Amino acid sequence: MSEMDELKRVLDLEPIEENLFRGISTAEPTRRIFGGQVVAQALTAAYKTIGAGICHSLQSYFIRQGDPSRPVLYQVERSRDGRSFMTRRVIAIQKGEQIFNMACSFQLPEDGYDHQEAMPPAPPPLSVPDDDERWRAAFTNDPEALRRLDRPSPIELRQVDPVALRDPKPLAANQVVWVRARGSLGEGVAVNQVLLAYASDYSLLGTGMRPHGVNWLSGVQTASLDHILWFHRPTDFSKWHLYVMDSPSASGARGFNRGLIYREDGVLVASAAQEGLIRPPRR
């Protein structure tokens, strides 16, 4: 089964009852459910209760660590159905407890004013090394570590100025990453928003670690605490997108990160914000 077939299986929620859906996790053995997966599944559940509206924003909180060996129940509350806007609240449940909740808003398509911030310059995506290639090069002499770390992903990432995987050094609190899905799940606005939501959790939290010369392998305790997305324009997420991120602040063992997501042709399609736990290693 390809990475995209596996993602399609994960995003294909099972209806249990009115406004109640069951989701599963990827087959990879991990300690906790990937945050982007929960966001994407919750958005999928909300879309199953919406007619013609398109999501324009979502705000979510990660409450407890999810167990990938167990299914997740998604309960959708139909907060409001107005003439232009519809609001939903989604609660993710495992073992009888909330692990995540999301509020999201949908709008019927309409015309209005239009402007955007210009996309910054960046090298072409295929001129930048694939993240999988960097992992294999860094751990070529450590096959056991490579076996644990080199897991297939449905999302392709190419970091323009990556932090060194071994012996990282402090870098500026911003980064740009080329990103796309490794295949298409369809041309619909909703499914591409779900793919973008899934991918938006990659790299964002790491932006706040860059000034401190640490990365995921440095013993830093990390976890997404919240995740916010604004969808500006439709896109095909199987094509290349430039994820432009910065981290204006880190304090109290938390890092605040922002992101702009552009199509390769320079059109701004989404914005993201996230605060995450970045607790220094205990000495």
Residue with tokens 């010369």: 213
Examine the residue annotation and report whether 57 is marked as an active-site residue of this protein: no
DSSP β-bridge partners for residue 276: 224, 255
CA distance 245 to 230: 15
Q: Look up residue 158 and give its DSSP letter.
A: E
Residues 6+ apart with CB under 8 A from 198: 7, 11, 36, 37, 39, 40, 154, 155
Sequence letter at residue 242: L
Kindly name the residue from 25, 105, 201, 238 that is annotated as catalytic. 201
In contact, 109 and 232? CB cutoff 8 Å:
no
- 184 is known as an active-site residue: no
* 234 and 269 Cβ atoms separated by less than 8 Å: yes
String of DSSP letters for 198-250: HHTTSSTGGGGGGGGT--TTTT-EEEE-EEEEEE-S---TTS-EEEEEEEEEE
Whether 274 is catalytic? yes
Give the Cα separation of 29 and 25 in Å (integer): 10
Q: Give the C-alpha separation, 181 to 200, whole Å.
A: 11
User: CA nearest 43: which of 134, 104, 97?
Assistant: 104
The single residue of 159, 224, 238, 247 carrying the catalytic annotation is 224
Helix pair angle (3-11, 35-47), 10° resolution: 50
Residues recognised as catalytic: 201, 224, 274
